[in-house]
Structure 1
């Protein structure tokens, strides 16, 4: 990023932080800091940055557009697909494959929700307005989680419907009433939201945008690849318990025999996110801004 762009970003963040601090403590005659005011201040910061909406738009486009593209390629190549690939084909999963890209955008934004303030120094104003500190992180996680769930809760069903309309050209589509399909369609937004909250926790631990993004990408992309090259007896006892594969059990209709059950797998991902947020809250209380 150029120096000019950095200055503009810092100015925008500083303006949002100033408005957010005034939202926490409007004046001395109207009471002190409350949970509602902290949430309101974080919402002001979140919605005031253009990068927030650009990243969410990128996640939505990836979710819908990539899923439709994959479905179109499947229809175009269906006659040439090997028999084993046809047997493993999942119409619902095919239309929702955009989540592989969407999770990266959501993960990056989750890190930026925390580290953006450290990069500009605005975190000092925030923590000065909320001396207890931990409510700040909880408010960031709550606002980000609610917005992510709302956006992906629309994008995922849209991706499913568009994908099924494309697959219908080869009579390959399915419906929400089919076994397991509704769980996959509704589970994908839950997975993406949990990934985002994990990223918020990582950002609060690392406090560096580059380090936080690298850590999240390592957890979601690098660790599963490394686990796949392990000997089979090791792989089956490690791979299903990594954050990505564990949570993706909820988004998969036909899972591998070694995979976790959908809801226990998602619960494990939520446990990773909760642990990262708890560790981040603990460090936030005890180290300098």
Structure 2
């Protein structure tokens, strides 16, 4: 079967589910809203900030602070793209219509990419311009060195996290299991390991840590790579998740 009709089918399945719109709207609102609050608070407390923090202040990445909560909605959306089919039993009908499992996985990946990327770009630009307005005299400008790259980098990070979550959804099949792995990983395991001296070097190569480099103008202290390396690290996580997801998807019964 050719890719075009499969893409149409997957597009119809995703866009007719209410959770698609809810999760993507929540991702936008939470990321932009929380980023704006953090920028406003930062500006209000600027005079009381230590000199060391002022010297390393990254106005651009500050305007993306809300992504660490907003990505929750992106993860949920991507997991449900495949998880809902397993939960409802629709996966049997999907595989009967599209026996080529590589084609089905590729179509779902492209639909996730096509939906998340525009939302991520809009979220990134709105977060940046609103955040810089609230930072007042401490703001960055879109034409400053590295700023436009960081704005697009934030959008890329959101998109890569969605594809990574889709891969985990194919691996574990059940939404509860997938979210039970991804949520603790991003909100507990990664932050905790990052703070432990003996293992924080390993944590630097987790996707959220690599993604923070994508959305920053200045290289974070202690992280031994820059934004391009951060992009490829995130990409490797995506390839690994989708690759292992495909291997298990190919071997398992529906």
Query: One fold, TM greater than 0.5?
Result: yes
CA drift of 1:223 comes to: 2.7
Q: Does 1:218 align with 2:184?
A: yes
Partner of residue 122, structure 2: 154
Q: Does 1:135 align with 2:103?
A: yes
Q: Does 1:261 align with 2:226?
A: yes
Q: Does 1:88 align with 2:56?
A: yes
Rg (Cα) greater in structure: 1
Aligned residues: 253
Partner of residue 25, structure 2: 57
Normalised by the length of structure 2, the TM-score is 0.95
CA drift of 1:112 comes to: 0.8
> Which of 187, 191, 203 is the aligned partner of 2:157?
191
> Which of 107, 114, 121 is the aligned partner of 2:82?
114
CA drift of 1:120 comes to: 0.7
CA drift of 1:178 comes to: 1.1
Normalised by the length of structure 1, the TM-score is 0.84
User: Contact conserved, 2:7 with 2:111, CA < 8 A, in 1?
Assistant: yes
Q: Does 1:181 align with 2:147?
A: yes
User: Contact conserved, 2:6 with 2:107, CA < 8 A, in 1?
Assistant: yes
Partner of residue 204, structure 2: 240
Tell me the C-alpha RMSD between the 2 structures: 1.4
Stretches of structure 1 lacking an aligned partner (at least 5 in a row): 1-32
Q: Does 1:272 align with 2:240?
A: no
> Which of 235, 251, 254 is the aligned partner of 1:286?
251
Q: Does 1:43 align with 2:25?
A: no
* Partner SS for 1:241: coil
* 1:52-76 CA distance string (max 9 Å, x none): 0000000000121111111111122
Pair 1:147–1:166, CA change in 2 (3 A): same
Structure 2 counterparts to residues 158-177 of structure 1, below 5 A: 158-168=126-136, 171-177=137-143
* 1:211-238 CA distance string (max 9 Å, x none): 1012112332333223224334x422x1
User: Contact conserved, 1:240 with 1:260, CA < 8 A, in 2?
Assistant: no
User: Contact conserved, 2:194 with 2:204, CA < 8 A, in 1?
Assistant: no
Q: Partners of 1:65 and 1:235 in 2: how far apart?
A: 30
Partner of residue 37, structure 2: 69
User: Contact conserved, 2:38 with 2:62, CA < 8 A, in 1?
Assistant: yes
Q: Partners of 2:226 and 2:46 in 1: how far apart?
A: 30
* 1:154-212 CA distance string (max 9 Å, x none): 111111111111112xx111101112111111100001100000000000000011110
User: Contact conserved, 1:132 with 1:285, CA < 8 A, in 2?
Assistant: no
CA drift of 1:35 comes to: 0.6
Q: Could you list the structure 1 runs, at least 4 aligned residues long, displaced by more than 4 angstroms after superposition.
A: none
Q: Partners of 1:216 and 1:83 in 2: how far apart?
A: 36
